[in-house]
Structure 1
């Protein structure tokens, strides 16, 4: 009886092991996901990889992506051979989709239009009729902040330079350098995180203006996401850069020249106008005098006072015509008329 019992127990154990072995051969699988963080930027898309091993056909399986402790409100749910569109967290609707060939065991998640709220852990869950597995993927959202703003404050013989930049995620690194590229390490750095998880950085540095023409403040996350600001460490500098001495001298000289021309113009323009007006008056007076002299020297012609006979008149007319052709002057014509007039008087006597 005891021997039979032992044989029965051995058979049962063998059957169980065979069943488990058969199940593991046909149904079991694992999920492969990347370790560490996956980096992505706000506003862009990202792929969260998840792959079955071995590469089984997952078309008839249930695939779910969810945040920790939120299984009932998944980011994406694939069930009954389709994605359940109206199920899950509303903030991911229209932005989450499966990526890859389900027949080859690819069950990756694609997220679009990323926001700061999307960063964190995501769980990949795959279940068949007899087996299930899950694995976690960590997403880190990077946000590039503002261009550093630098300001100056005099402190004795040195200058206190301040560098401020806002809106970074994760916490950025700040670096000070001089014009030769040497890193300046005597700075003080502070970080502050707001309600949205964005980090602001603020740093101070004491610097002597005689050490370098300018210094720079760089803030960034990596070599591709670095923003830099520069400042001239000059004393009494209200801005980040002062004009050179020759520019200031040129501006002062230009102002002086303009003032001299303005004064000269105000003094000489009225005199020039008076001189031109005087010349115009002289020219006008001279023209009027010329017209008056012309009227006096050329009086209107009058006929002879003494009555002449018809012969005398005809002869005088012929003589006047010949004389006019020869001399063509009004004065000579007048002299001839006087002579003819005298001759006529002598003939009458």
Structure 2
């Protein structure tokens, strides 16, 4: 053992005291840095959680805070419904508490009267409800004691589309929900015609809302180039769309008319298979009519020529007979004249 160094032993480990002091200093410094990293990590995590709650694309329920510690929570995205559906517009008081004896109002600000449901003093005020919603809106009475003031809307109509306001006057709390109403129908391929350039298909779909798009696809799912979509909106605000496409012979000869509305995430389509023999161009009715007309003209011309030739032959024959008769008369006159001359000489 060297005299200028002192060796310490603890258990099975031994180390130089001077080196040990340095290691301890490094350990404390590393521990301090690690604590700072952990603190900053916690702060960043909290900030990310706050951002997830605030960002508009969050799938969580968004909330509107008001006085005290209460707030109303509801859907963060517009509610989509199809015509005829029964839907629920979610609206909940948090923290949950009994609102059975409070006033709850559901309204559409764009209507007059604006109320579509009013609950006050333990009963529904039917007289305040807009006529178009009578018999179609209700609350879940048994859930009011838990702060659930969600509205059930039955037999949804196109005119139900709009902004809905859920309001608790006692807390001055409100929540706004946008309702998008859609209507769909399956397309029909109703016209098939052959041309020299291919087969013309026409597709139509009635009763859509909002206005949809129309696409034509081949058997491999490729979008075909088609003519412009024709759109007609009826008095019921529903759209009728139609589209026409000219297709050529392909290996499968399967074609699809697809009608799509992205806002309500709805798609309807119909398929058709065309026989390969159908692509063989046959004379059209117009061509047949053209050839019939030409044939009639030729027959008429031939008849006219034949008639003219017959008239000419008839006239020539008549003239020949007349000439022969004249010559015969002339010959008879000459013979009679000769007889008369001989008689005069004899006398």
1:253 aligns to what?
none
Following TM superposition, by how much is the alpha carbon of 1:169 offset from its aligned partner in structure 2, in angstroms? 2.0
Name stretches of at least 5 consecutive residues in structure 2 with no aligned partner: 1-65, 283-347
Q: Structure 1 residues 91, 143: CA separation in 2 closer, same or farther (over 3 Å shift)?
A: same
Matches within 5 A, 1:137-156: 137-156=177-196
Q: Structure 1 residues 198, 207: CA separation in 2 closer, same or farther (over 3 Å shift)?
A: same
Following TM superposition, by how much is the alpha carbon of 1:235 offset from its aligned partner in structure 2, in angstroms? 4.1
TM-score when scaled to structure 1? 0.54
Following TM superposition, by how much is the alpha carbon of 1:158 offset from its aligned partner in structure 2, in angstroms? 2.3
1:29 aligns to what?
70
Query: Using the alignment, how far apart are the partners of 1:69 and 1:96 within structure 2?
Result: 17
Equivalent position SS for 1:75: strand
Q: Is the 8 A contact 1:171 1:221 kept in 2?
A: yes
Matches within 5 A, 1:1-349: 24-25=67-68, 29-70=70-111, 72-99=113-140, 101-128=143-170, 131-179=171-219, 181-188=220-227, 189-210=229-250, 212-221=252-261, 225-232=267-274, 234-235=278-279
Q: Structure 1 residues 215, 60: CA separation in 2 closer, same or farther (over 3 Å shift)?
A: same
TM-score when scaled to structure 2? 0.54
Q: Is the 8 A contact 1:148 1:218 kept in 2?
A: no
Equivalent position SS for 1:101: helix
Name stretches of at least 5 consecutive residues in structure 1 with no aligned partner: 1-22, 239-349
What is the CA deviation profile of residues 60-86 of structure 1, one whole-angstrom value per residue up to 9, with x for unaligned ones?
Answer: 321111112447441000011211123
Deviates more, 1:229-238 or 1:92-101: 229-238
Q: Is the 8 A contact 1:147 1:165 kept in 2?
A: yes
Following TM superposition, by how much is the alpha carbon of 1:24 offset from its aligned partner in structure 2, in angstroms? 4.1
Query: Using the alignment, how far apart are the partners of 2:91 and 2:99 within structure 1?
Result: 12
Following TM superposition, by how much is the alpha carbon of 1:46 offset from its aligned partner in structure 2, in angstroms? 0.5
Please tell me whether Structure 1 or Structure 2 has the larger radius of gyration of its CA atoms: 1
